[in-house]
Amino acid sequence: MNRRKFLGAACACGTLYSPGSLFAGSLQARMSPGFRPEAASDENGLWDQFNKEEQQLKRSKFLIRDPELNAYIHGIACKVAGDYCRDLRVYLVRSPYFNATMSPNGMMQVWSGCLLRCQSEAQLAAIIGHEAGHYLRRHGIDRFHDAQQKSALSTVLGLGLSVAGGARYAGLTDALIIAASFSFTRDQEREADTMGLDLCAGAGYDPEEAANIWAHLIAERKARENQGFRDLVFATHPVEEEREATLRGLAKGMPGCGVAERRGRDRYLHMLRRERASFFADELKLRDYGPSIALFEHMLGNDKDDFEVAFNLGEVYRLRARDGDDAKALEQFDRLASTPKAPAEVWRSIGFVRRARGEQGEAAQAFGRYLELKPQADDAAIIQSYMNPGRST
């Protein structure tokens, strides 16, 4: 893990994901628009570190650079953050997990796994609003100051880091390392939740969408086959149900709660259209079958005619290949194949499933259809070889 990754992990430590009841009433920002730390302050030093980080992030191959999508999401951030719009910079990062991060200097990262899971503009606005809440309440510098007071822990942690390759972090102060190693506190998360809901409702979004995201994440967690597995989202925050209930309860008293017109679902999916295929591909590569099935079924529940989702649901079953999965995969693929808009890859996948079932004739027919639709396919020669029974591969 290099310095940049380390700082990245620092921000990622549960910015969005701690549980807790929300503060009652509105909170005020602890800074004015255009805020910059005083030149000689430790906060300025902290900003400098993250400014360097941001310069590296701008060059990263993991940045999603689609100009239309970036402009759209910047627009959401501006709606939510209002006068603070120019103080926040949202970066879209290709990483298949559900996460978003906020750095003290205004650098916000939203991961592609988060973009895939959001089902509406209002859901993404809820995440951006929450992260903006961390920034406006200056939680980063609070965390830094708190870390400075933990000098005893610094020694222990420093020892641990040196074993894990801590020499790479020689440029960082102990306090920064500690600050980067801890998630926001529960109180900070509550504040960010409160501000996020206020900001989103004020921007005209359905505030209940924040709770709806949690409801889905809980469903994904329950679908996980290895219940011992705890990812970034759930590692340190075990009571998602409580958080969902709290968010929903608070949203009920806000304007626009539950109003479908305030969600912006169609607009959101339209803006995501060019990138979504790569998000699906990344999701499939995780081979975390249960949550992927839960996600895709949830998405199909919102729109049963979303063929891209249906295809990927079929793909999860095809890749998992347990007893009965062949039929579930074919259920999706056959439904798609009967429509004129079916992509050629549907036929290729039907071929794989049929072949695994020993239905060589049907498999060859499906592969043939794939090659007919896509004669110049990159894999044409190998697919042709599957049509010739007797080969081992």
Partner 1 sequence: MKRALAAMALSAFTLGACTAISEIRSGERVVINGTLAVQPSKSWSQVSTFALYGAHVVVWTMDGPELDKLCFVAALENNASIHADRPGKTPEPKFRSNMTATEVMELFEAAYSRPTSTPVIFRTSGLRPAKFAGVDGFRFEFTFVDQADEIERKGIAVGAIHKGKLYLAFYHGARIHYFGKNLPEVEAIIGSAKLM
Closest CA to 132 of 93, 99, 89, 97: 89
Residue 65 CA: distances (Å) to CA of 9, 86, 132, 216: 21, 19, 22, 27
Q: How far is the CB of 280 from partner 1 (least distance, A)?
A: 14
Residue from 19, 96, 106, 256 in contact with partner 1 (CB under 8 A): 96
Q: Which residues pair with 201 in a beta bridge?
A: none
Is-contact 218 241, C-beta < 8 A?
A: yes
**Strand 107-111, strand 100-102: pairing:** antiparallel
By C-beta, is 106 or 113 nearer to partner 1? 113
Among all chains, which residue has been given the structure tokens 């969902």? Answer: 244
Question: How far apart are the C-alpha atoms of 259 and 179, rounded to whole Å?
Answer: 40
Residue from 131, 288, 325, 326 in contact with partner 1 (CB under 8 A): 288
Question: CA 259, 255, 298: angle at the middle one, nearest 5?
Answer: 35
* Segment contacting partner 1 by CB under 8 A, of 118-126, 172-180, 350-358, 368-376: 350-358
The answer to whether 280 contacts partner 1 (rule: CB under 8 A) is no
Residue from 260, 270, 379, 389 in contact with partner 1 (CB under 8 A): 379
By C-beta, is 246 or 349 nearer to partner 1? 349
Residue from 229, 270, 304, 327 in contact with partner 1 (CB under 8 A): 229
The answer to whether 32 contacts partner 1 (rule: CB under 8 A) is no
The answer to whether 352 contacts partner 1 (rule: CB under 8 A) is yes
Is-contact 199 80, C-beta < 8 A?
A: yes
Is-contact 362 354, C-beta < 8 A?
A: yes
Question: How far apart are the C-alpha atoms of 363 and 341, rounded to whole Å?
Answer: 21
Q: How far is the CB of 30 from partner 1 (least distance, A)?
A: 32
Both tokens of 168, joined, read 């790479």
Question: How far apart are the C-alpha atoms of 317 and 350, rounded to whole Å?
Answer: 12
Question: How far apart are the C-alpha atoms of 14 and 89, rounded to whole Å?
Answer: 19
The residue type found at 106 is: G
Burial of 238 (0-12, 13-18, 19+ CB in 10 A): exposed
Site for partner 1 in 109-168 (CB under 8 A): 163-165
Q: How far is the CB of 19 from partner 1 (least distance, A)?
A: 21
Residue from 62, 72, 182, 307 in contact with partner 1 (CB under 8 A): 62
The residue type found at 387 is: M
Coil vs helix vs strand at 377: coil
By C-beta, is 87 or 283 nearer to partner 1? 283
Q: How far is the CB of 95 from partner 1 (least distance, A)?
A: 4
Question: How far apart are the C-alpha atoms of 240 and 251, rounded to whole Å?
Answer: 16
* Segment contacting partner 1 by CB under 8 A, of 180-188, 215-223, 253-261, 286-294: 286-294
Q: How many residues bind partner 1 (CB under 8 A)?
A: 41
The answer to whether 91 contacts partner 1 (rule: CB under 8 A) is no
Among all chains, which residue has been given the structure tokens 């049907």? Answer: 362
Site for partner 1 in 186-225 (CB under 8 A): 224-225
The residue type found at 90 is: V
Residue from 156, 159, 327, 382 in contact with partner 1 (CB under 8 A): 382
Q: How far is the CB of 264 from partner 1 (least distance, A)?
A: 28
Residue from 68, 285, 331, 389 in contact with partner 1 (CB under 8 A): 285
Q: How far is the CB of 229 from partner 1 (least distance, A)?
A: 6
The answer to whether 26 contacts partner 1 (rule: CB under 8 A) is no
* Segment contacting partner 1 by CB under 8 A, of 23-31, 71-79, 102-110, 285-293: 285-293
Kindly report the backbone phi and psi dihedral angles of residue 107, in degrees, each rounded to the nearest multiple of 5, phi listed first.
-85, 115
Task: List residues near partner 1 by CB under 8 A.
Answer: 1-2, 5, 60-62, 94-97, 163-165, 224-226, 228-230, 282, 284-288, 319, 321, 348, 352, 355-356, 378-379, 381-383, 385-386, 391-393
